Amino acid sequence: MPPPAEAGTGVSLGLLLLRLMLGIIMVGHGTQKLFGWFDGPGIDGVAKGFAALGYPAPKTMAVIAGLSETLGGLGLALGLLTPLAAAAVLGTMVNALGVTWDGGFFLPKGVEFTLLVALSATALALTGAGRYSVDHFLPVLRVQRLAYGVGAIVLALVAGAVFLLIRH
């Protein structure tokens, strides 16, 4: 017997709230990097941080990180290409975890927030955006396919690992 319609509505509302909050947070962090908004360091400040962490082409890395967070966050908030948007966010969080893991678990230097963002993005890649999303109107994404989510997660993990491995 299929679940009542209210169950699908509740899940979709929960996914909408999660997508909106995670998306807004990521857009905020991305625009801090790209434009210096919200008291952010901007591209040059982020590039200095990437240089200090041993990344090659630190300005390019700053742009990639800023775009991944901004566009991934927008995609999540809108529920647009949700598995791919989640992969963009997860990939940046893999890098953040890789360079901050030794700071302990709890903030201000710990990884608890980064882990929460990473696992929230992973969950959204697996569940899809829900009924209240742009994806719901795209026939190929209307029904979430587990393979899309798993593929997005693998893409994010591989990309994140590659960026960590190219550090000096």
Long-range Cβ pairs for the range 33-40 (8 Å, 24+): 33/62, 33/65, 33/66, 33/69, 33/70, 34/63, 34/66, 34/67, 34/70
Task: Supply the DSSP symbol for 108.
Answer: T
Size (the chain), residues = 168
Q: Which two tokens stand for residue 46?
A: 């982020």
Average pLDDT, the chain: 93
Rounded Cα distance between 148 and 85, Å, is 12
pLDDT in tens, 114-140: 999 999 999 999 999 999 999 999 888
Q: Quick check: 2 pLDDT over 90?
A: no
pLDDT in tens, 155-166: 999 999 999 999
Please return the burial class of 85, using the count of CB atoms within 10 Å of its CB with bins 0-12, 13-18 and 19+.
buried
pLDDT in tens, 11-58: 999 999 999 999 999 999 999 999 999 999 999 999 999 999 999 999
Q: Quick check: 1 pLDDT over 80?
A: no
Enter the pTM of the model.
0.92
pLDDT of 4: 56
Q: Quick check: 6 pLDDT over 80?
A: no
pLDDT of 108: 87
What are the φ and ψ backbone dihedral angles of 63, each rounded to 5 degrees?
-65, -45
Confidence of residue 107 (pLDDT cuts 50, 70, 90): confident
Cα 36 to its chain centre, rounded Å, is 19
Query: Using an 8 Å Cβ cutoff, are 153 and 90 in contact?
Result: yes
pLDDT of 168: 87
Q: Quick check: 143 pLDDT over 90?
A: no
